Amino acid sequence: MNVFLWTVAGPLALVFGAAGAMKLGRTGQQPAASGLGWTADVGDGTVRLIGAAGVAGALGLILPALLDTAEVPVAAAARGLAVLMAGAAVVHGRRKEPQMIAVNAILFALTVVVAWGRLGPYAF
C-alpha cells in the first residue's frame, strides 16, 4: 500500500506544485490569458494565496514522507489540498465550467485517498 500511496502522492505533488508555481509567477491578466479565466474574477493577492497553498501542499505531500518524519503532516497537506479542490469546484460550478469540475473532483478524490492512507492504516 505504501507504493500505491507514493504513486498517487508523487504526481499529485507535481500537479499542485506546478499549478501553484504558475499562479505565483504570473501577475495581472497573464493567468487569465493562459486559460485561468477565474483569475479575472479575483484579485492578484487571492491568486497568489491559492498558488502558495498549492506549492505548500505539494511540499507537504512529499517532504515529510521523504524525510520519514511523521504521517500527520502528509495527511494534513492532503486534507488542505482536498479543501482547495472543493473550493475550486464551487468556483468552476458558478462559472459553468463542468470540465474543470471533473478535474477538481478527481484531484479531490486522490488527495482524500492519500490523507486516509497516510493517517489511517497504511502509515509509512
pLDDT of 44 above 80: yes
Domain assignment of residue 90, given as a range: 2-119
Q: Is residue 124 part of a domain?
A: no
Q: Record the pTM.
A: 0.88
The CA distances from residue 96 to 31, 84, 87, 89, 90, in Å, are 19, 18, 14, 10, 10
Q: Into how many domains does the chain fold?
A: 1
Q: Is residue 70 part of a domain?
A: yes
Q: Is residue 63 part of a domain?
A: yes
Encode pLDDT of 59-113 as tens digits.
999 998 788 877 788 999 999 999 999 999 999 999 898 999 999 999 999 999 9
Query: Which residues does 18 contact at the CB level (< 8 Å), separation at least 6?
Result: none
